[in-house]
Structure 1
Amino acid sequence: MTPPRDPRVSVICPTFNRSRAITDTLDSVSAQSVTDWELLVVSDGSTDDTDDWVRDRARSDPRIRLIRTERHGHPSGPRNRGLAEARGAYTVYLDHDDLWFPGHLRVLLEAFADGAGFVATGFEVSDRHGTVTSASRPLEMCWHPEIQTLGPVFEPSRVAHRSGLAEQVGGWRAGGGAEDWDLWLRLADAGTRFATVLDRTVRLLSDAGTRRHGISLRRRMSVAVFDDARRAHAALRELRDDRHGAALRAACTADTRAWLRRMAASAQFVRPAGWAGDPEAGLTDGPEALGGSWTDLVLVPDRGRYLLALPLACVTAEHALRVQSLVRRTQPSQFALIDEVTARHGGTLPAPGVAGAVADRSGGGRS
């Protein structure tokens, strides 16, 4: 097959030491029903035979191109190199351990035809044995700027955007945190029109060895500040022992329903294409809004005081501050209960715009 001179789609796949396993990922691109694409496999200084396997596939499918870079140790560098080399009108991402179903590119291009600048598809999740363990639901495919601020939605392998948009907002940034969450947020802040589709066109690998399970949580959202370590620990124990668990879960669910109802009534709320269902129907009881659970709270020593905080995967301090402010506005009932508990132990509210917005140097975050 002759590679297209002007491909419609540029696929960027960063890789490091994937060896033969990468051929399954590459073959899932070659099997696409849409054929006018280029696949840029950016090897991040691989030291095994990964590059040889990519070259082998490129000999049988010249739309595949190997680009080798020095070692970055982070996918942002290879993705930015891919952006610099891409020629297509649309940029699509694929992590080296994920797979596409044959209609993935067709579904994306159909969504772009309605004028979107950014599109995300549905997904399945499988373990390393290939067993499907979960799949996307309609609620997970709803979008709003506030949802984008609070949660790392949309893994790269499900995403495409019009070429040039990423570069306009500064490209991919390295460092701690979820770099995809960071880029999608900057695209949203720049006014990019987001669209989603229900079609499950991607299979994501969920395994303890994948990068998704090892992202460092260097930022934090402060919940309360204490002058005394013993009283801080007492407050944390009370919140963790579940005596208030039922009340906190009920408050969180009620707040989240009210938040979702407000967003759904706004012009910025995006439903999956062709879906007119009730977003609230997809909610289950539990602490949805903290990006985890209030049981994930940790204590962080900070300049002679002690912060009760939630570790975050935000890349920047500014984003962590936005999360801290928005969560309190959208979850008032839950935080009324948490504030009542912490106040009994001498805790006070963090100062606006200060507490919780710096890197956690204490090692208190989750691994």
Structure 2
Amino acid sequence: MTPRVAVLVPVHDQAAYLPRAMESLLAQEETAWEAVVVDDGSREPVAVPADPRVRLVRTDDNRGLGAALNRALDETTAPVVAYLPADDVWYPAHLATLLGCLADSPASGAVVLARAELDQPAGTPYAQLVQVAHRRTGDRWTERAELETDDLDRLMWSRVAARGATTGTGRVTCAWTQHPGQRSRAIRESSDGGPNVFRTRYRVAGPLRFVSTDGTDLDEGARYARFRSRTYEARPDGLSVLVVGELAFNPERVLALAERGHSLTGLWTDQGLGDATVGPLPFGSVPDLDRDRWRDEVTALAPDVVWAQLNWRAVPFAHAVRQALPGLPFVWHFKEAPQRSVVRGEWPMLADLVCGADAVLLATEEERDWFALALSGRVDPARLGVLDGDLPKRDWLDAPLSPRLSEADGQPHAAVVGRPSGLDLDWVLALADRGVHTHLYGQVRAPGPKGSWTGWLDEALARAPGFVHVHPAVGPEDWVRELSRYDAGWLHRFDAVNGGDLRRATWDDLNSPARLPVLLAAGLPLLQQANPGSVVSVERVLREDGTGLFYRSADDVAAVLGEEVAGRGGHAAAMAARGRHVFDAHADRLVDLFRSLLR
């Protein structure tokens, strides 16, 4: 029987779901099909039914959805193509219904793509693989070297649809299975995905061109080209440093050590968030140990020091590494946040790291003092040091400043980078009433905590036209050029109520926000709510540097911004301070600490 439709079945590490999908294929009313199951580098065995219409092909490593589907296209010949991901299900009439739609030719032209309905809508503007059948057009799926995205329109559908009419069947004939292992969830920030979750799950070795429908648009090849083109020579007296955990927002900072002749090797947690950078690092120069054989590989490497870091997601793995390597000098470099570890039930591991490491580095003086109190009698305060572990690399400062918007319109403009923590509709409208512009960068418009604040954004845009502005995320390569157009940058707005008692301090009180060095890089003074009578780390730093614009009300904001536009005192202080808020400025001190621990 000549097949009427080719069924493409991509699978990666989802072998447990595959029997259900294949049973639903074998149950189709339409029987004239051929199927190719592409095992795209799964770490577990994949088996297929003993049916002559089904073939299995394998790749040794994961090459991505686009490459897997193109391989399946090459292995099949039927004039219609349908898709059955390993974790999804077709109902018996699915293929017959889609083929019926494709056979119809409305007056507007031949139907090239048909889409079935889902039991539970996916909530995305594009069709899921399981819904679609289309004529074989010669179009190819976009592969990883060009783009990884959850937007299937960009990967294929839009090209096919441009060749003719599309239609819906109007019938529910398939089910899209939602579960934590879905590819789309590894991509979307609203599902705790992102480039680093994706990189870990699919073991991506090189830089990514990565786009999420939640808002991320990242070209790691372009971003890190300057670092990938460099050669870092190890000095004879250089240290071998094993970097353990995750590197958060500014991973390229570690190259400051490579520039000084030290060798870096990575051993990464597999529990990172989308913005918790893990290897393989996109800028190269830091080889990875095999996560499955790391104990043996650490023994073979024999590093001089273990440098474990950085945030709460890394705590369990860092703890496991320290327990397994008691003979190696171990530095625990921690930033965020002890309160989160308490909530997660991981405080005993965090406390053990702080008390047992040979040296501990914490983000701020206040965080150091908080740990000294919380672990009084257990930890030696002399082993607790201070170094914000997520400072950016100095290279990003090497760009010219841009003309300020206020020089053209005479009105103050302030930027928000990342979540607008503490800002809300009433606050933004009050600023607009006082002639203050708010510029929001990199906001996630999606379900979930990262996008929950956007409920007020559309109303703010409507009620304060011309004073509320939304921009794409700005990467480090553009911090100076883009953000220097403004008069100030917003830090987190919050009320501190600790009354000067560190025992009552929240993470906001202890934190050094990641956006602080970003805004300083562009020469921006920082808007920080004053909290008199309370211990607030960032407020202390801003007062010491002279880079803070302090306020309690919207009137205060308008006043301090007016003074800044007139005199530029905050800008001058920011330009003087920004060189201290890069990792390179502290790299030698860190190396001295490592050397002091050598055994």
Q: Could you state the TM-score of these two structures normalised by the residue count of structure 1?
A: 0.55
2:143 is the alignment partner of 1:173: yes
Picking from 19, 43, 55, the partner of 2:15 is 19
1:74 aligns with 2:49: no
Q: Is the 8 A contact 1:76 1:179 kept in 2?
A: no
For 1:16-54, what per-residue CA distance to the aligned partner results, in whole angstroms no more than 9, with x for missing partners? 22234311111100000000001110111223121xx21
Superposed counterparts of 1:213-228, under 5 Å:
213-215=185-187, 216=194, 218-219=210-211, 220=215
Gap change, CA 1:93 and 1:232, over 3 Å in 2: same
SS at match of 2:157: helix
1:14, 1:42 within 8 Å by CA — same for their partners in 2? yes
Distance 2:129 2:149 in 1: 14
Q: Distance in 1 between matches of 2:171 and 2:473?
A: 38
Q: Is the 8 A contact 1:10 1:38 kept in 2?
A: yes
Distance 2:11 2:477 in 1: 29
Instruction: Give the alignment partner of residue 100 of structure 2, picking from 110, 121, 129.
Output: 110
Normalised by the length of structure 2, the TM-score is 0.35
Cα distance per residue 1:223-281 (max 9 Å; x no partner): xxx97999323996499635499xxxxxxxxxxxxxxxxxxxxxxxxxxxxxxxxxxxx
1:65 paired residue number: 55
| Structure 2 counterpart SS, 1:232 | strand
Amino acid at match of 1:40: V
Give the distance between the partners of 1:361 and 1:15, measured in 2 at CA.
38
Match of 1:123 in 2: 118
Query: Aligned to 1:117, what secondary structure does the other structure show?
Result: strand
Alignment counterpart, residue 153 of structure 1, candidates 120, 126, 139: 126
The amino acid that maps onto 2:142 is W
Corresponding residue to 1:89 among 79, 98, 115 = 79
Q: Give the 3 Å change call, closer, same or farther, for CA 334–358 of structure 1 in structure 2.
A: same
230 and 336 in structure 1: CA distance in 2 versus 1, 3 angstrom threshold: closer
| SS of the residue 2:17 aligns to | helix
CA distance in 2, matches of 1:196, 1:103: 15
Secondary structure of the 1:92 match is strand
Contact in 1 for aligned 2:15/2:86 (Cα 8 Å): no
Post-superposition Cα deviations, 1:93-137, rounded to whole Å, max 9, x if no partner, equal 111100000000011011011131001100123xxxxxxxxx58x
Q: How far apart are the structure 2 equivalents of 1:7 and 1:359?
A: 52
User: Any idea what SS the aligned residue of 1:47 has?
Assistant: coil
Q: CA RMSD in A?
A: 4.2
Matched residue of 1:231: which SS? Answer: strand
Letter in 2 for 1:204: W
Taking a change above 3 Å as real, the CA distance of residues 84 and 233 of structure 1, as seen in their structure-2 partners, is same
- 1:257-268 correspondence to structure 2 within 5 Å: none
Which has the higher Rg, Structure 1 or Structure 2? 2
In the other structure, the counterpart of 1:241 is 424
Change (3 A) 1:197 1:240: farther
Q: CA deviation at 1:339?
A: 4.1
- Counterpart Cα distance in 2 of 1:118 and 1:192: 8
Whole-angstrom distance in 2 between the partners of 1:157 and 1:309: 31
Secondary structure of the residue that 1:233 maps to in structure 2?
strand
Match of 2:590 in 1: none
**Gapped runs of 5+ residues in structure 2?**
106-110, 188-193, 196-209, 218-403, 407-411, 429-437, 447-457, 480-513, 516-599
Is residue 335 of structure 2 the alignment partner of residue 202 of structure 1? Answer: no
Alignment: residue pair count:
241
Q: Distance in 2 between matches of 1:358 and 1:118?
A: 37
Deviation at 1:197, TM superposition (A): 1.7
Query: Where in structure 2 are the equivalents of 1:350-361 lying within 5 Å?
Result: none
